[in-house]
Amino acid sequence: MDTFKAIATRRSIRRFTKDPLPREVVERILAATVQAPSAKNYQPWRFVVLEGEHHDRLATMMLEAATSLKAQGVNIGSLEGTARAMLGAPLTVVVFNTAPPPEVPAEAHDDWHWVMAQSTGGAIQTMLLAAQALGVGSLWICDILYVSSAVREWLGHPHDPIVAAVTLGYADEAPKPRPRRPWQEVTEWWSAD
């Protein structure tokens, strides 16, 4: 698929078919993902692919967190809807941002994490477009952050911040394009003349 077509046709998918994703399709998506640029080519991303009961466990953790937080009167935003959307899908990739390299002084660690967050963001967008090019639907998920410490422990990455999760699967819906402000409205152009 042409890049512009993949960009134009990608949507956040929140209803997936039960069909499993063939492993080779997921591998192609991951192989494309790691082609993303990153600061100093540090490639700070780490991925954990959760399928089957592991995927369902993550969605259930999020659903349970939604129930408990709601009972405490906490505003949970889209958490519950996201968890329900995930439950119908075959697979989720959890995206970690690895800790700063040892040569970065401790006082610069926060800044470095911001830089690395940009790199992981680029990787996630690459993942979404690669999935789209292969006819696979995707949902970029930050609601995983409601359960991030529990997930970090569970997946054996206690010290790596979670950036997001991406649920992948075959779409069982065809959403219309969501609105965007035109580029002219969000761009200042200081031309030479």
Ligand X SMILES: Cc1cc2nc3c(=O)[nH]c(=O)nc-3n(C[C@H](O)[C@H](O)[C@H](O)COP(=O)(O)O)c2cc1C
Please report, as ranges, the residues that interact with ligand X according to CB under 6 A.
11-12, 14, 78, 82, 139-143, 164, 178
Nearer to ligand X, 101 or 175 (CB): 175
Residue 114: its H or E element = helix 109-133
Among 48, 58, 119, 114, smallest CA distance to 87 is for 58
Q: How far is CA 184 from CA 93, 100, 154, 180, in A?
A: 34, 37, 45, 11
Nearer to ligand X, 136 or 139 (CB): 139
Nearer to ligand X, 61 or 142 (CB): 142
Rounded Cα–Cα distance for residues 19 and 131 (Å): 15
Long-range CB contact pairs, 185-190, < 8 A, 24+: none
**CA angle at 45 for the pair 44 and 51, rounded to the nearest 5°:** 160
Task: Tell me how far, at minimum, the Cβ of 189 lies from ligand X, in Å.
Answer: 24
Rounded Cα–Cα distance for residues 178 and 186 (Å): 17
Nearer to ligand X, 78 or 149 (CB): 78
Strands 91-97 and 137-141: unpaired
Nearer to ligand X, 81 or 190 (CB): 81
The beta-strand segments (E) located in 55-185 are 91-97, 137-141, 162-169
Task: Tell me how far, at minimum, the Cβ of 159 lies from ligand X, in Å.
Answer: 22
Task: Tell me how far, at minimum, the Cβ of 129 lies from ligand X, in Å.
Answer: 12
Task: Tell me how far, at minimum, the Cβ of 48 lies from ligand X, in Å.
Answer: 17
Nearer to ligand X, 12 or 43 (CB): 12
Task: Tell me how far, at minimum, the Cβ of 164 lies from ligand X, in Å.
Answer: 6
Task: Tell me how far, at minimum, the Cβ of 29 lies from ligand X, in Å.
Answer: 17
